[in-house]
C-alpha cells in the first residue's frame, strides 16, 4: 500500500507540473494573441462604415444609413474591373513562379561544398530583408533613362533610344513579377530546405545501392517527399489570390504605368486615404476579405477531397 501511494503521489506531482508548464506557455503566447486580436479582429468593427454615407467629422449616429448601396456601386465601377484584372494577373504570375523556390532549394541541397552552399543561401535570402523602397531606389538607379543600364548601352553605341523598363505599361506585369521573384525566392526556399532535411537519409542510401544517381534520387525521393509542402503553400497562395501586395506597387507606381499596376489593396488605399471616400473603400475591402475567405474554404474542401487532408 505504501508503494502504491508513493507511485500515485509521483504521478499527481507530474500532472501538476505539466499543468503549470502549460499555464506558463499560455501566458507566453498571450501577448501575441492580444496583438492578433487588436490588429486583426478589432478593426473588423470598422466594416459598419460601409453601410453608412459617412463623412469625416460627422458622428456615425448622425450619418444616413444607405445599406448595400456602396456594394451596388462596385458593379458599375469601371475602375473596379481594371483593378481586379491587374490583381488577378499579378497574382497568377506569382503563382506560376511558385515552383522556382522549390527548384532553388533542391539545387542548394545538392551542393556539396558547405561554404558555397551557405554563400548561395545567404545571397538569395538577403533581398527579403531589403524594404521595397530600397529595391525601388536600386531599380531606379539601374533602369531609369539615365541609369546604369542605359548609360552602358549608350556608351557602347548599341541603341540611341533609352530602355523604359519602369515606365513601360506593356511590360510592367513581367517586370514586377521578376522583382518579386528576386526578392522572395531565397526566403521561400527555406521552407523547402527544411522539408528536404527532414527526409529519411536511408531512402537515399537504398537508392544508391539500387544504382540510382543524383538526378534519379531527386526525381523519385526528394520531389515526392516535399510535394505535400509545395501543395499546401500553393493552396494558400491561391486562397490569397486577391492579395497581390501593396508596398511593391505603391513605390513603383507612376503616371505611365498607373492603370496597369493599381491592384486591389492600392485601390482601397487611394479611395480611403487619398480621396477620403471611406464608406466605398471599406466596402471594397470587405469584398476582398469575404472573397478571400470563400476561396480559402473552397481550396480547403478541394484539398480534403483530392488529398484526403485539409489545410485548416
Tens of pLDDT, residue by residue, the chain (312 residues): 444 445 556 555 666 666 677 788 888 888 899 998 998 888 888 889 889 888 888 888 888 888 888 888 888 888 888 999 999 999 999 999 999 999 999 999 888 888 888 899 899 999 999 999 999 999 999 888 788 888 888 888 777 777 888 888 888 999 999 999 999 999 999 999 999 988 888 888 888 888 878 888 888 888 888 888 888 888 888 888 888 878 899 999 988 898 899 999 999 998 888 888 889 999 998 888 888 888 888 887 877 777 666 666
The rounded distance, in Å, linking the Cα atoms of 254 and 238 is: 28
Query: Given this model, what pLDDT does residue 17 score?
Result: 66
C-alpha distances out from residue 162 to 154, 166, 174, 238, Å: 8, 12, 19, 38
Beta bridge partners of 65: 52
Beta bridge partners of 52: 65
Which cell numbers hold the place of 173? 506585369
The rounded distance, in Å, linking the Cα atoms of 299 and 310 is: 9
The rounded distance, in Å, linking the Cα atoms of 176 and 118 is: 28
Query: Given this model, what pLDDT does residue 7 score?
Result: 53
Per-residue b or e along 126-159, where b marks 16 or more CB atoms closer than 10 Å to that residue's CB: ebeeeebeebbeebeeebbeebeebeeeeeeeee
Which cell numbers hold the place of 307? 488529398
Break the chain into its structural domains and give their ranges: 1-51, 68-307
**Helical spans, DSSP H, in the chain:** 2-36, 69-75, 78-96, 99-109, 114-125, 132-143, 148-156, 172-197, 201-209, 214-217, 223-239, 247-251, 258-261, 264-269, 278-307
DSSP assigned state of 64:
P
For residues 303 and 296, is the Cβ–Cβ distance under 8 A? no
For residues 74 and 284, is the Cβ–Cβ distance under 8 A? yes
Query: Given this model, what pLDDT does residue 61 score?
Result: 82
Chain position carrying cell 450619418: 63
For residues 10 and 18, is the Cβ–Cβ distance under 8 A? no
For residues 175 and 166, is the Cβ–Cβ distance under 8 A? yes
**Three-class secondary structure of residue 52 per DSSP:** strand
Residues 6+ apart with CB under 8 A from 307: 228, 231
- Domain 68-307 fold is MetI-like fold (1.10.3720)
pTM of the predicted model, to two decimals? 0.81
171-176 long-range contacts, CB within 8 A, separation 24+: 172/257, 172/260, 172/261, 173/86, 173/89, 173/90, 173/93, 173/260, 174/93, 176/90, 176/248, 176/249, 176/252, 176/261
How distant is the alpha carbon of residue 275 from its chain centre? 28
Query: Given this model, what pLDDT does residue 117 score?
Result: 87
For residues 287 and 73, is the Cβ–Cβ distance under 8 A? no
The rounded distance, in Å, linking the Cα atoms of 98 and 183 is: 13
Query: Given this model, what pLDDT does residue 309 score?
Result: 66
Query: Given this model, what pLDDT does residue 2 score?
Result: 47
Residues 6+ apart with CB under 8 A from 100: 181, 185
Amino acid at each position: 500500500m505504501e508503494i502504491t501511494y508513493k507511485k500515485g503521489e509521483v504521478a499527481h506531482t507530474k500532472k501538476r507540473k505539466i499543468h503549470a508548464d502549460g499555464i506558463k506557455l499560455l501566458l507566453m503566447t498571450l501577448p501575441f494573441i492580444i496583438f492578433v486580436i487588436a490588429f486583426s479582429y478589432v478593426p473588423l468593427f470598422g466594416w459598419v462604415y460601409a453601410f453608412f454615407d459617412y463623412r469625416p467629422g460627422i458622428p456615425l449616429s448622425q450619418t444616413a444609413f444607405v445599406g448595400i448601396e456602396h456594394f451596388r456601386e462596385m458593379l458599375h465601377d469601371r475602375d473596379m474591373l481594371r483593378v481586379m484584372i491587374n490583381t488577378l494577373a499579378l497574382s497568377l504570375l506569382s503563382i506560376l513562379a511558385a515552383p522556382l523556390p522549390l527548384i532553388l532549394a533542391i539545387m542548394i541541397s545538392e551542393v556539396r561544398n558547405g561554404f558555397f552552399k551557405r554563400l548561395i543561401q545567404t545571397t538569395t535570402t538577403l533581398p527579403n530583408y531589403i524594404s521595397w523602397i530600397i529595391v525601388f531606389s536600386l531599380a531606379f538607379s539601374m533602369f531609369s533613362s539615365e541609369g546604369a543600364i542605359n548609360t552602358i548601352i549608350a556608351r557602347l553605341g548599341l541603341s540611341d533610344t533609352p530602355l523604359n523598363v519602369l515606365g513601360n505599361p506593356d511590360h510592367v506585369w513581367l517586370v514586377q513579377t521578376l522583382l518579386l521573384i528576386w526578392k522572395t525566392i531565397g526566403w521561400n526556399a527555406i521552407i523547402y530546405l527544411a522539408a528536404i532535411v527532414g527526409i529519411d537519409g536511408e531512402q537515399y542510401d537504398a537508392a544508391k545501392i539500387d544504382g540510382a544517381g543524383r538526378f534519379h534520387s531527386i526525381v523519385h525521393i526528394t520531389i515526392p517527399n516535399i510535394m505535400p509542402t509545395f501543395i499546401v503553400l500553393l493552396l494558400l497562395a491561391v486562397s490569397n489570390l486577391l492579395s497581390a501586395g501593396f508596398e511593391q506597387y505603391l513605390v513603383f507606381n507612376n503616371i505611365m504605368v498607373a492603370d496597369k499596376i493599381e491592384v486591389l489593396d492600392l485601390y482601397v488605399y487611394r479611395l480611403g486615404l487619398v480621396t477620403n471616400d471611406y464608406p466605398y473603400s471599406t466596402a471594397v475591402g470587405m469584398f476582398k476579405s469575404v472573397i478571400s475567405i470563400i476561396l480559402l474554404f473552397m481550396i480547403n474542401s478541394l484539398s480534403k477531397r483530392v488529398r484526403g487532408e485539409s489545410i485548416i
